[in-house]
Structure 1
Amino acid sequence: MSILHLPEPLPSTSIALGQITTNPLSAPSDSINPSVASDSIQKAARSKKEDAESTSHIALTDPSQLFDTLRNDTSTQGFLRKLSQQNKPIYFVTGLQTSKSPSHKRATVSHEPITEATETPQTQVQLPFRRVDSASNMTSPGEEGSVVAVELLKVKCRIGAVTEPHCISDVDYVWSYHALDGEDEDLQLSIGLGKPVEEREWKALTGVQERQEDRDADRNWSYDYDSDDGIGGF
């Protein structure tokens, strides 16, 4: 699983393990949070005494098992059904890296949606979910630590005919199929859990790559002092 570093730290309350979200960088984005049992989480911690910083990493022990539980829940199905109609990208949060440091400042992030580019012991999850629609209850990042990196799996969902074939890009996803209440019985909701978001994809999605290229271009730009016309044509 790729560790994806955030452009800026986020408050610890803005993102959670097991969250299904359209934008992990924006708390007001469409998302739902399940309550994940502690025995379904792996934890690791380390400290850096030289700068009084401590970091911790938590991850789901079995992301696919938890997601299977979620996608068979009617609340999740309704949420994903809405997103499929809005054609929004969807991500499943499987790991978080947090840091406590007095130097961290409150993050300012875009509210625009991101546009997409193992078997272990049984996971337990408690339903129903908590819907996250605003950042009004967020604490300061320095109070309980900041989220500095995430691990994400891609999610796809769509509504279509039972006989509708998959496209080539669907091969990387593990699919489940669900009947739609009150709809034509020939229609179904298809939900797919995909591969991890990789570093190169993350840089493109968050604009980090573009900003780095802009900085490199500014650094490499120079005047041609050997020109017969001199600087500015003089």
Structure 2
Amino acid sequence: MVFDKSNMFPTTTERGTTQLPVHAGNAGPNVSRYSPAFTSPPRSHTAWRHMSMVRQVCVEERYIHIRDATVFANIMSQVLVLPQPLPASSVVLGQLLSNPLDLRSTSMKPTVKLVCSKLNTQPCYEDVIFQDEEGRFFSSLDKTNTSLGRSVVLTADEVSLTALADPAGAFEALRHDTRTQAFLRKSALRRQPLYFVTGIQKLLNASYRILPGKEVFKSKTTGRQSKSPLHLRRDSAELEPEGDTKSTIFAVELMKVICRVGAKAEPHTLKDIGYVWTYHTLDNSDLQLSIGLGKVLQPKELRALAGIVIDENLRRERHVHQHYEAEGLGGFPSN
């Protein structure tokens, strides 16, 4: 920031842009030396520099909070509820998974340091989700419709969300790492799709209870009901150290990854649209490793991986059938 030290009024920089003095209480264009922060002008150049640094830090912190809140909202709208929660240490940010629902599947944790941000932590978490006949959870995209499954109220002492600060930049660093390239090459030869972990939502001391009937929005007034703890997937005892049982991974954000080994002149297919591709020559040969980073995995795609079938057409038919039953023949109410 540039100030006129004689009167603390805004000055014009060499580029012709006006710089205004700001502070945490009033960071706007109407700040003047008569605002509360400027009632006592600094008596020395050192004091002025100290005040300027404090104000600049306050403004930067305020910007960071606003930016993190925006990123948090974007990430929260893209996290996928897992059919069954995972141990807190089973998945990390930047990990490549061949099957996010099976801890025994092929995976690779990041071999380079990635920048992660703890975006938010909130106490006393509560949400309404759905559960199918086999007890698998999935997100309630439309909470007014209970025909998708039974509604359950999920509660936890705390919810936290961590995410990669720059998913595209993090993946760019990974795919140029030799060990990661070797893993991607093996996955390409096996024709395995991969998923890049970019966000993790954890719950502390989570439990749930089934809502009776259609009381989706009356979770706080239903009285005391029995709660069931969340059952974790434990496909490998090594994945869950002792003492790490209270925190669970309940939702993740995943980005799709495709790897392919082929000739350099091999053309792309229609399925490759929407991916950002890089190409890496293999062993000075005519073959190359093509690595594509795609979009965020959608809820219906995760449900397909889990085998959770939601027949939208059947649901519409039920709705129409109930509508005509209520109206009766010729639009008259039925008795």
Gaps of 5+ in 2: 1-74, 127-154, 208-228, 315-335
Report the secondary structure of 1:65's partner residue: helix
1:197/1:49 Cα in 2 relative to 1: closer, same or farther (>3 Å)? Answer: closer
Pick one of 107, 116, 121 that aligns with 1:31: 107
Deviation at 1:99, TM superposition (A): 0.1
State whether residues 16 and 93 of structure 1, in contact with CA within 8 Å, keep that contact through their aligned partners in structure 2. Answer: yes
State whether residues 101 and 145 of structure 1, in contact with CA within 8 Å, keep that contact through their aligned partners in structure 2. Answer: yes
Answer with 1 or 2: which has the greater Rg: 2
What does residue 249 of structure 2 align with?
147
Instruction: Considering Cα pairs closer than 8 Å and 6+ residues apart, tell me whether 1 or 2 has the greater RCO.
Output: 1
Q: After TM superposition, which residue ranges in structure 1, 4 or more long, deviate above 4 angstroms?
A: 35-39, 49-52, 210-214
Pick one of 203, 222, 233 that aligns with 1:108: 233
Q: Percent identity?
A: 42
Does residue 191 in structure 1 map to residue 291 in structure 2? yes
Counterpart residue identity of residue 16, structure 1: V
1: CA distance, partners of 2:242 / 2:83: 17
1: CA distance, partners of 2:243 / 2:232: 8
State whether residues 12 and 141 of structure 1, in contact with CA within 8 Å, keep that contact through their aligned partners in structure 2. Answer: no
Does residue 88 in structure 1 map to residue 197 in structure 2? no
Counterpart residue identity of residue 11, structure 1: P
Report the secondary structure of 1:46's partner residue: strand
What does residue 138 of structure 1 align with?
240
State whether residues 28 and 135 of structure 1, in contact with CA within 8 Å, keep that contact through their aligned partners in structure 2. Answer: no
What does residue 60 of structure 1 align with?
164
Does residue 74 in structure 1 map to residue 150 in structure 2? no
2: CA distance, partners of 1:94 / 1:87: 22
Does residue 43 in structure 1 map to residue 119 in structure 2? yes
TM normalised by structure 1 equals 0.72
Does residue 209 in structure 1 map to residue 304 in structure 2? no
Bigger share in strand? 1
What does residue 282 of structure 2 align with?
180
Deviation at 1:213, TM superposition (A): 10
Deviation at 1:202, TM superposition (A): 1.4
Structure 1, 26-35 or 161-170: larger mean CA deviation: 26-35
1: CA distance, partners of 2:233 / 2:203: 17
Deviation at 1:186, TM superposition (A): 1.1
TM normalised by structure 2 equals 0.52
